[in-house]
Structure 1
Amino acid sequence: MKAPFLFRLCLAVIVTACFTQCSSTPKTRIEKNPQMYGRLSARDQHLVTHGLIHEGMTRDAVFLAWGRPDAVSYGVNRGRESENWTYEGQRPVRSMSMNLGFGYGGFGPWGFGGWGPYGFGGFPYYGGGSTTTYVPYTSGVAEFVNGRVVSWKSTKR
């Protein structure tokens, strides 16, 4: 009787830990980094709380608003060294498929098959349904020069 309860308890703890670790929102990032949030101006604090950024923000503010970037690249923009943070998302793409196949019925009294008077073949299999594939896309880019945002692009959040 104790084993099923212990199993359920362990499973619940693992699932809860996974969901809390995997979900990163501005609120959770602010709670984990209160000193970083406290150093921001009142305007930046308001924007970060809503997951928004603007030109002039620091790297810390962008991290709190959008999270850890998926890719960081370095380059030059108008003669100044720049750093780009790229964020990726995944969009579901649904498609319909139709399949046709033939199976076999096993060994019947009249040879190979088993279905029908002659034991030949099996029955046709018709299948179909929807399939979901997740396609990556760039959801946002923030460009920094001297540690401040100089430009940014984002899909609707």
Structure 2
Amino acid sequence: MYRPLAFLSLSSATLLMVSCTPNTPQTRIANNPDLYQQLTPNHQSLVQRGQISKGMNKKAVYLAWGDPSRSSKGSENGKLFEKWYYIRYTPYYTGGLYGGYGYGGRGYYGTSISRTTNYNSELEAEVKFHKGIVTSWENAR
């Protein structure tokens, strides 16, 4: 017997669990073992610690740091390059207690509490690639 509600509940619960999976180097390695096995032993060690170095390819950087928040392409001294940017989002909260008195045939007084979550974005790290290989990188402090 087909139970749409049970199926929907199970599907929703599965999606929620998958979306809550932490995005760590170990998770990315477990999900991409073939990519990890293609790396040199030195790069494997760095990836496990969430670190990168010059000479790594894009796959190694992905395993170590994940997908970039955004990327760009450009040219420098006649050579094409690509940059990956990692953005950190920090929440901050605004709001307060509001009240007022009004007339609408009879007087009333109302209060409300409001809280809004906003996010500041900051550059956390940047990686530069020439022909798919890391040539430089930096972390913001």
Q: Same fold (TM over 0.5)?
A: yes
The two structures, once aligned, show a CA RMSD in angstroms of: 2.7
User: What SS is found at the alignment partner of 1:122?
Assistant: strand
Task: Decide which structure has greater strand share.
Answer: 2
Measured against aligned partners, the alpha-carbon deviations of 1:68-120 in whole angstroms (never above 9, x if no partner) come to 2222211112332111111222111134534332356x7xxxxx22xxxxxxx
CA distance in 2, matches of 1:56, 1:44: 9
CA distance 1:8–1:145, change in 2 (3 Å): closer
- Separation (CA, whole Å) in 2 of partners of 1:153 and 1:99: 45
Q: Of residues 111, 122, 135 in structure 2, which corresponds to 1:137?
A: 122
Matches of 2:119 and 2:16 in 1, distance apart? 23
In 2, Cα distance between the equivalents of 1:103 and 1:87? 49
**Would the alpha carbon gap of residues 7 and 59 (structure 1) be closer, same or farther in structure 2, given more than 3 Å must change?**
closer
Report the equivalent of 1:12.
13
Q: Partners of 2:76 and 2:20 in 1: how far apart? A: 39
Q: TM-score, normalised by structure 1?
A: 0.71
Paired position in structure 1 for 2:33: 34
Distance 1:32 1:14, change over 3 A: closer
Secondary structure (helix, strand or coil) at the match of 2:20 reads helix
Secondary structure of 2:67's counterpart equals coil
2:135 aligns with: 150
Identical amino acids, percent of aligned pairs: 34
State whether structure 2 residue 9 is matched by structure 1 residue 24: no
TM-score (structure 2 length as normaliser): 0.78
What are structure 1's unaligned runs of at least 5 residues?
107-111, 114-120
Aligned residues: 137
2:96 aligns with 97
**In terms of Rg, which structure is larger?**
1
User: Quick one: distance in 2 between partners of 1:148 and 1:14?
Assistant: 35
